[in-house]
A and B are shown apart, each in its own frame.
Chain A
């Protein structure tokens, strides 16, 4: 959040165990990555098994391997649990990558799609579409969400970094706060003037994977894939920019172009994810910190590990939400906040929180 913390010759890894460079570092990263992947696989199976109707693991495997359209388990698994789980993985990965990118881009430990106004922009656009044009389905409001996310991200970037080449983290955060505030007030106004919008919006606003139309997965994937691909291509220039604009420029990265493409990637990832499942907090904030802690400052590794760890967090939260109030459900957005916020506060209380 501040320029001066960042200007300090900070050790690159905010954690007690800086990854040793070279082979051991890579081995460590690979170990973490495979551990995370394993966890994700376990959670995927658990996500299919757990719910209002419990399906034991053996039966899950059976249903996955055999086509039995008549069995109730088969229907639940294929029409509800699998689309929901896959959507969780896709959205989680998108939020993780987006959070990692924003933190790298702004060199801001608090950067998060929520903080920098991207989710707010998407949400406001969806609310406006719902209220004024009576949009109901993902396919119709995803473009609104993307446009809202893009406009908000761009306005925040211009306000936060306008005039000079570099956007300081503090000004960016401030600009994000301001834009989010205006958007929130706008949404509140819409909701209060039109009760029907409130009624639709309030369920979407919590952030949930439940009851999302299974067609949404297919519709959201192209956006997320494009954003993810763009993000991976930007790994190297973001690494160069991490040393500062001047050094980055000397290393061959074009700061302005890198920023623009990063914004595009973040917009695609967050806008589509938010349109699909609603605004989900803390996944994009907490996970990249964890990733940076275990695999060091290389953006490509951070993004990769975030792309796996974030779905772990999201799926885990979704499962917890299904179990917590069984047979009722706690929406995943609430659970991620309850898991993410303490983590975030622990980071803040830690001595080296601000060093990126």
Chain B
């Protein structure tokens, strides 16, 4: 990750890992390659479209991998289906049992995984860029824990159906992140303070969650524990629909703010001298990130680490500078779909909640980053 300067309050220069690719050791595996220069295409209207050949290539590969994950998720399982049968079902035909398995079980779950993963990846990219720190992801600043508290309060204290639980999760997450944001705000929000306040608030809420689980009845505690881990088991169209709506609204909003976000990354002074109204843009971006995380959490519970990993992974794959919003969303979707596939099949017929898997994978990814960083320092 970004080493000692990651949460450095005294830094006035941007310090994300790939912000200065020439100064960093090459990030990807394999032989050391020079970063590919940015290309710009002049548009006839006088504007320009910037593009990055390597990023485009990586994006294409991500889409291919996603296709593979989709095929895997729709065909594999206790009821294996050949690709041809799945295609039959998707085009409106197919046997009745096949239709049920694909349309009612596998497809909604897969779509939920993809949408939730995309939302988390995108939100992670927004938060990490705003905090100028990989640890600034929603996991760390308390959002996930807060929404877990909200959901637990509904499951264990108030009682209510799936919609109420989702509402509680969203409310808890929103309240928590607002609290963290307000507490961290003092003459502008600085990245490091946001992270630290987030850690404080989330430990507080984590212990509240443990208390709620301890005082609950056994069966409530069990369902709450599953929910807290983050799971895609038994997700249907009712989870998929709201998630799709949220993403359809928030993804374009985030992309529209991509350019000021890129400037914010260079520091508030630079950004405002380039004409960005920094606090206004920041608040809007935070709201979008919060909305994405809230929707994802409502649909699947607090799934750890996707928001942290996806932006970092895509950054290392593309070696592009600045936030890569679309790439992070794609990577998040791929990551969650693959994790869920593995979680379903690893101990089959027992289905692990996907959060167990992303937790292990995410932790190992962090460890890998640290080890890499250490080797880089040595060289």
Where the two chains meet, the residues of A that have a C-beta atom closer than 8 Å to any C-beta of B are 1-5, 8, 110, 114-115, 159-160, 162-164, 168-171, 174-175, 177-186, 188-189, 191-193, 195, 198-199, 202-203, 205-207, 281-282, 330-331, 333-334, 336-338, 341, 344-345, 348-349, 353-354
Contact = CB atoms under 8 A, between A and B. Distances in A.
B10 A5 contact: yes
B178 interface: no
B304 A181 contact: yes
Contacts, number: 181
Nearest to B2: A170
9 contacts: A159-B370, A160-B370, A171-B373, A177-B135, A192-B352, A198-B222, A203-B214, A334-B207, A349-B193
B44 interface: no
Interface of B: 1, 3-11, 135, 183-184, 186, 192-193, 196-197, 199-201, 203-204, 206-208, 210-211, 213-214, 218, 221-222, 225-226, 228-229, 304-305, 347, 350, 352-353, 355-360, 362-364, 366-367, 369-371, 373-375, 377-378
A4 B10 contact: yes
Query: Interface of chain B, helix or strand or loop or mixed?
Result: helix
Contacts of B347: 193
A122 to B, nearest CB: 15
B5 A2 contact: yes
B355 to A, nearest CB: 7
A171 B207 contact: no
B371 A162 contact: yes
A329 B378 CA distance: 53
Task: Output the residue of B184, B228, B367, B371 with the most chain A CB within 10 A.
Answer: B367
B363 A179 contact: yes
B363 A182 contact: yes
Contacts of A333: 207, 210-211
Nearest to A181: B363
Contact of A348 (B196, B304, B360): B196
A206 B211 contact: yes
Nearest to B352: A189
Closest 10 CB pairs of A and B: A185-B359, A182-B363, A3-B4, A178-B366, A341-B204, A337-B207, A181-B363, A348-B196, A189-B356, A344-B200
A191 B4 CA distance: 36
Given A2-B192, A171-B373, A182 B359 contact: yes
